[in-house]
Amino acid sequence: MPDYTTTGLLQKIYRRGWMAQAQVATQDDDVLAVATGELRLDLAELLKGARQEYLVFTETVTTTDGTYTVPERALAGTLRSVHRVSGSDLLPLTRLELDNRYGGLPGTVFGYYLEGSKLVFTPAGSNGTFRVSYQLSPAELTTAFMRITAKGATTLSGTVPSAWTGAITVDIQSGKPGFDPRALSLAATVTNSTTLTFGSGVIPAAVVVGDYVALTGTCAIPECPVELHEYLALRACAVLQATTNGPNAANLKALADEGRTKISNLLTPRTGDARIVVPRYGPGRRVW
């Protein structure tokens, strides 16, 4: 079975660079830091530019002060969409410029404006339940993770990294290609060397055996399509060789540039062309 984790990625990097792990002057953590940088700078730009909804994460929030703080993991602090939840309906909200932030009927949320890292719903003081979607900035690659081997109502079992103790906050990631996040920022307690304990109802139903747990902001598997893992290894090799004046620097850069073109062709389209559908009896339509 292929090893998609950072352990497998490190082996790809060493093979791609025609170098033995023992010959690398830097440690594994330093190599993964380089790979994380390429993942965030190069691959994230490719994924976002494809406009095919890669790494999109959606959360439902209820506000109490009329504002919503853009999540730390939102790529470049941007949001994909904002909707107000009204019963079973999702009503799209319009982004307003600061000069147009006033108006509307009191108590009826019709839009929002940006103020630093916050969304401020308008009219002022408007609250409610909102569905917010945003593209995730790829998490930091780490070798400290736990593969889930058993799932209970409030527990996840596996081999807990020795550095994890007491109360921790974790992210859970699918172990299957896509490698999408199952949940972010869950509070957990290290019960023993094989068990993490969560509060009642905290573990999402989507979490299954074979998924991975890592500290919040880190991940066991690069958060990108599996075909990009080889490209990521190639990019990391090229950077490592260039920064250390390695003998293969020029060749690896040429291969990485060629790989970028191939990857761009793979990413889009994922399905047929997306279309905007206007509801037959919704806003923008008239019933005659």
Q: What is the pTM of this model?
A: 0.81
Instruction: Write down the domain spans for the chain.
Output: 56-135
pLDDT of residue 169: 98
Q: Which two tokens stand for residue 225?
A: 């399509």
Q: Which helix (H) or strand (E) holds 28?
A: helix 28-38
Quick check: 43 and 36 in contact, CB under 8 A? no
What is the model's pLDDT at position 274?
59
Q: Please determine, for residue 51, whether its predicted confidence score (pLDDT) is greater than 80.
A: no
Q: Evaluate whether 233 touches 16 at the Cβ level (below 8 Å).
A: yes
* Average confidence (pLDDT) over 11-18: 79
Q: Which of 46-50, 84-88, 275-279 is predicted most confidently? A: 84-88
Q: What is the pLDDT of residue 146?
A: 98
| Residue 248: other Cβ atoms inside 10 A | 17
Model pLDDT, residue 15: 83
86: left (phi over 0), alpha (psi -120 to 50) or beta: beta
Cα distance between residue 206 and residue 176, in whole Å: 12
105-156 confidence digits (pLDDT tens): 566 788 899 989 999 988 877 888 999 999 889 999 999 999 999 999 999 9
- State yes or no: pLDDT of 26 exceeds 70: no
Residues near 26 by beta carbon (within 8 Å), at least 6 away in sequence: 240
Task: List, for residues 160-212, the tens digit of each pLDDT value.
Answer: 999 999 999 999 999 999 899 999 999 999 999 999 999 999 999 999 999 99
User: What is the residue-averaged pLDDT of the chain?
Assistant: 85
* Stronger pLDDT, 158 or 94, i.e. the higher one: 158
Give the position of tokens 């990019």. Answer: 235
Tell me the C-alpha distance between 208 and 197, whole Å: 15
